[in-house]
Amino acid sequence: MCATKTQDIEATVEQANMLHNAGAGLVRVAVDSAKDVLALAEVRARVPEANVVVDLQENYRLVTQVAPHVNKVRYNPGHLYHHEKDKPVRDKVALIAETAAKDDCALRVGVNCGSVDPAMAAKFDGADEPGLDGVTAMVESALEHCRILDDLGFTRYVVSLKDSDPRKVIEGNRRFAAARPDVPLHLGVTEAGMLPDGAIKTRIAFEQLLTAGIGDTIRVSLTLPFAEKWREVEVGRQIIDDIENGRFRSVPKDFGQGLNIISCPSCSRVENEAFVDLAFNVKEMAQYAKAYDITIAVMGCRVNGPGETDDADLGLWCAPTFVNLKKGEEELGAFPYDTVLDRLRLELDALIEEKKAVGAH
């Protein structure tokens, strides 16, 4: 996915070409406004060889304007409720599907554990065993939208079920594949974080799923400087090549224990490029807590930030000029980029002391 602002046409064209030349079969850009739509048309004209996918983000009605310019449209079922809340979900999906059919586009139903439709999340709250919270809601949301598209007679769609935890990605995709083996799956570990951990988390999921015949396309999501987004393609192709040639990496016995840094990919939704530096600084600062089972989430935008930090012990989601700091679902306040790290350290110290008090790591 391009990490640039879509309205920055020169930068977006440069990055789209970079990703395409690195071997990306799909290049995704985000659209969230009328100005983005105008920019998208220009980008499309200047990258004619790339398969362009557009991410509708929250405004599903923009599909009528973007579909003529792209090969595929991705929508998130969990975000459809943001607009026209009184309108049935089926009617919103119908608009997307009818437009895609008219403009010869494919669709991706992109479900994320951290942004499932609130009604679906509430319905299946408590349905999963510890460690797999939200998987049932994610799978059921995907199945519901498959039924809607099937009923509408639209067949050119794929599904993705993503989370930052590879265990949830594996379980969700296994369940979905068992229920709907006819539907192509797009695999990915969202917010996998920085190298090397991000590549390891992704590899765990891909090795387990692809060797079981599950998965048709993939995406690697890493927090990287914008100029190094091509590394996502490199990592993905390396994992596929290793699997095809029977090269599997052993996972350290204690991998997944201790400090866990979740950070979203540096994509075009990021509202301040300082997010990337902040994520790296958080990782460096927090190394003294590596022995403790503490999860810190660093999110770069308002789309993923609020919901996908809820499950972390400490969460940061970045706005254009400040960073929202959270402890679980509790909001601790908004802080400038240059001071939030100090407050985060105080909260991290307090968590460590709590764990010491109960004899836990």
Nearest C-alpha neighbor of 264 from the set 359, 163, 167: 163
pLDDT computed for residue 261 by the predictor: 92
pTM of structure: 0.84
Locus of tokens 């993923």: 304
Q: How far is CA 228 from the centre of its chain?
A: 18
Q: Which two tokens stand for residue 101?
A: 């059919």
Across the range 228-253, mean pLDDT stands at: 90
Do residues 270 and 300 lie in contact, with contact meaning Cβ atoms separated by under 8 Å? yes
pLDDT computed for residue 111 by the predictor: 96
Q: In this structure, which amino acid lies at residue 89?
A: V
pLDDT computed for residue 207 by the predictor: 95
Beta-carbon contacts of 345 under 8 Å, excluding residues fewer than 6 positions away, are 285
Cis peptide before 196 (omega within 30 of 0): yes
pLDDT exceeds cutoff 80 at 337: yes
Across the range 208-225, mean pLDDT stands at: 94
3-state SS assignment for residue 243: helix
C-alpha 286/C-alpha 298 separation (Å) is 12
C-alpha 98/C-alpha 105 separation (Å) is 10
Please write the tens of the pLDDT for every residue from 154-210: 999 999 999 999 999 999 999 999 999 999 999 999 988 899 999 999 999 999 999
Split at pLDDT 50, 70, 90, the class of 311 is confident
